Every structure is written in structure tokens, then in C-alpha cells.
Amino acid sequence: MSEPIIRVSALNKIYEGGFQALKQIDLDIQRGEIFALLGPNGAGKTTLISVICGLVNATSGQVVVDGFDNQADYREARSRIGLVPQELTNEAFETVWNTVNFSRGLFGKPPDPEHIERVLKSLTLWDKRHNRLITLSGGMKRRVLIAKALSHEPRILFLDEPTAGVDVGLRREMWDVVRQLRESGVTIILTTHYIEEAEEMADRIGVINNGEIVLVEDKAALMRKLGSKQLALHLHEPLDSVPLALAAYDLQLAANGSELIYTYDASRTGGAEGQESSTISALLADVEAAGLVFKDLHTRQSSLEDIFVDLVKER
């Protein structure tokens, strides 16, 4: 595996009042990936991003960006990063064109109107380039923040809650933008409250809680490992209790006895389809042998949201 584009080592942040927001964080972000950082409110997501980007001083530990220490070589490190903050923070009376060009200059790059034009067009902001920011909708302002972050051609893009307060249609458009950016070689780290967003977009997922990284895992592997599956049988006649003949399957009754639920761990089956289906075949045969008739059946797999809630609850 190539050298990570960001390496966070033994990072701690204790705020003035004594609150420890980050506890001994170790994290590697790989080149070209979309990494989703999940965590409940106050978990330390924004503090972690802020330390990496230079907005907050770390108490101890090290952040290396593309081989450059973000303190000792801050110019090199920061020039590689674009940050889209959570809040819609803008110079309200400035125009889109001016504010995006300002950002490019601020990051030490010479003017490049062609690049800014490309960025604005890719974010469908070109028609609004002469508009003052105060006149834009929330979604458009969010796009302006992305355009500002992309103005200096960063290799890494931090998106802190990129689709907060954005309607569903616009959210999907944002996801497309993020995917296009990844295709162009930009590494993307996003924090989000929308588990659906992480599930939809991320290659890897990190969960942070109480200032600690709870896990970092490939998304598909995570869902395989921690996701549980359920088979629900809709019975013709409701039951008072689970028949003794089916006790081995640890079934539950639901919907006033008219649903028989079989829960199994995806990790137990290890994704081996043969083993999984043979267990289910045996169950169905035993159900029939017990004289139960079902009129319908369906399966469901736990979502990332369920996994996340379970993980955070465990802590």
C-alpha cells in the first residue's frame, strides 16, 4: 500500500477548560479514497478536522500531510488541503467570482480565471458569478464554499457536513460532485450525520466517539462484519409462542404473533452463501414440519445506521 496522504499519530487535544476533545488519535487516510468520519454530536469530528487543517492547535501528537508536518512545514501541508466548513460562512456582500478568486490568492496561487471558470461551471455556479453571496440560497452558498475550497487545486478536500440543510435533490447533486472530484484524484474526507451519505459514497468509514476512534474499516467489510440479517415469515395464523421444535433457531415473534423473525449474524455466515442458504433451508423445512403455514417472507440487512448506533451505544 502506498504512503498515506494524511497520517495522524497520537493526537491529543485538551481545551482550556480541561475538556479532552481528542484522545490519542491514530489515523491514516489513503490517497484517492473517500473517507467518511462518523460520530455523534460532540464526538470530536470537527476538532480532528480543525487540527489537521491548522484551525486548532493540538495539545500533543503529529499530523503529516503528503509527507509534510502540518506545523513545521505548514505552507506545504496546508497548500494541499481544501476545507469546506460546516457553517455557511461567507463574506455576505462579496460576489461569487471575487470570493472564489480571493481564496485562490489566499492560498498563494497566481490568478487563473480559466480554472475558476471550470470550478464554477462544475458546481453550476457560473451563471451566479456576479451575484452577491447574500442573494444566494443555502444550497448555492454551500456550493460557493466548495468552489472556494477547490479554487487552489487541493489534493485533499475536507467536507464537514457537506449536505447539512440541503434538500434531497441537491444532496444527490453534491454526491455526484464529490464522486467527480474523487475521479479527478482528490482525496476526500467527509464528516456527516447522514449515515446514508457515508453508505452511499465512502470507501472507508471511521467512527469517532468521545474523542476516540472506535473503528476504521472498509465500508463493505464493515457491513459484512457487523451487519446482521433478518428473515421474517408472515404467518397465516398468529402464534402465542414459538414452537419447541424451532427453539434451536432462537426465533422471535412480532406483529402480535403473526411474524416469525429469524436473526442471524452476517459475520457468522462469513458471507458464505452456501452456509447461509443451507441454514435458511433447514429453518424453512422445520417450519413446515412444525405445521406452520406462512403467506409471505422477506429479509432485511442492518444498515450502516444500525451498525453505527450499536457501536456508539456499546461505548
Span near other proteins by CB under 8 A; candidates 49-57, 121-129, 195-203, 262-270: 49-57
H helices present in the chain, as ranges:
45-53, 74-79, 96-106, 113-122, 138-150, 168-183, 195-201, 219-226, 266-269, 273-289, 304-314
Structure-derived torsion over alpha carbons of residues 237, 238, 240, 246, reported in degrees to the nearest 10: 70
Q: Looking at 28, 33, 69, 76, which residue binds other proteins (CB under 8 A)? A: 76
> Which long-range CB contacts under 8 A does 259-263 form with residues at least 24 apart?
259/232, 259/233, 259/234, 259/235, 260/232, 260/233, 260/235, 260/287, 260/292, 260/294, 261/230, 261/231, 261/232, 261/233, 262/230, 262/231, 262/232, 262/233, 263/228, 263/229, 263/230
70-78, 120-128, 201-209, 244-252 -> range binding other proteins (CB under 8 A):
70-78
Q: Are 104 and 151 in contact (CB under 8 A)?
A: yes
Identify which of residues 46 and 209 has a Cβ nearer to other proteins in the complex. 46
Of the residues 34, 36, 48, 81, which one makes contact with other proteins according to CB under 8 A: 81
Q: How far is the CB of 157 from other proteins (least distance, A)?
A: 12
* Segment lying near other proteins (by CB under 8 A), choices 81-89, 191-199, 218-226, 270-278: 81-89
Q: How far is CA 55 from the centre of its chain?
A: 22
Per-residue contact string for residues 139-158; x = within reach of other proteins by CB under 8 A: ---------x----------
Q: Which of 5, 83, 120, 222 binds other proteins (CB under 8 A)?
A: 83
Which x/- pattern over 91-130 shows residues binding other proteins (rule: CB under 8 A)?
Answer: xxxx---x--xxxxxxxxxx--------------------
In the complex, minimum distance from the CB of residue 6 to other proteins, in angstroms, rounded to a whole number: 14
Backbone angles phi, psi at 190, to 5 degrees: -125, 140
Window contacting other proteins (CB under 8 A); options: 52-60, 218-226, 257-265, 275-283: 52-60
**Which positions lie near other proteins, rule CB under 8 A?**
15-16, 53-57, 74-79, 81, 83, 85, 87, 89-94, 98, 101-110, 148
